[in-house]
Amino acid sequence: MFKNFSWGHGVAVALGLFMSFILFLIFVFSSGMQNSELISDSYYEDELAYQEIINAKNNADLLTEKPVYNQNKEGITITFPQSVKPENANIHFELFRTDDSNLDVKKDIPLDGKNQFQIPAKVIFPGSYTLKVKWENNKKPYQVDYDIQWK
């Protein structure tokens, strides 16, 4: 069978296998990227203001106690320690879905008497989220980010 197999046949087989591999990559991987959108519509303006986010994260890193989150069937509960007192008890949170901006949740919400707030489960769909919690204290911005996998 391989008696009449020359180098020309080998080149043709290698070229055919390479073309099959490229076509496989095109058809298989393009179907997985159905929803590829930008993170922000105003990307350039957001990038110019990013130093404020860096400062807020650095301020939060200096805290001895940070807000913590807990997932349960009712939703996600974020609890602030007693040492952290946000101004006016108002918190801004963003539940950011990386693969579908239609599932993002952004809201300003007050803390309750237990120094916590809850994001209800009915607004969260299964998948991967980044939870960004922002607040101010003594006119100083703070921000903590958490990676959340909601099931």
- Residue 133, in any domain of the structure: yes
Say what the pTM is: 0.71
What total number of domains does the chain contain?
Answer: 1
The verdict on residue 33 lying in a domain is no
In a domain, 37, yes or no: no
Beta-strand pair 68-72/105-110: unpaired
Read off the pLDDT of residues 40-62 as tens digits, 9 standing for 90 and up: 777 788 788 888 999 999 999 99
Residue 9 backbone dihedrals phi, psi, to 5 degrees:
-65, -40
Query: Is residue 70 situated within a structural domain?
Result: yes
Please determine, for residue 19, whether its predicted confidence score (pLDDT) is greater than 80: yes
User: Is there a contact between 118 and 142 (Cβ–Cβ < 8 Å)?
Assistant: no
Cβ contacts of residue 62 below 8 Å, gap of 6+? none
Q: Judge whether 145 lies within some domain.
A: yes
In a domain, 53, yes or no: yes
Which pLDDT value is given to residue 56? 93
- 50: domain CATH number is 2.60.40.10
- As a whole number of angstroms, the distance between CA 95 and CA 53 comes to 16
The whole domain housing 116 covers 43-150
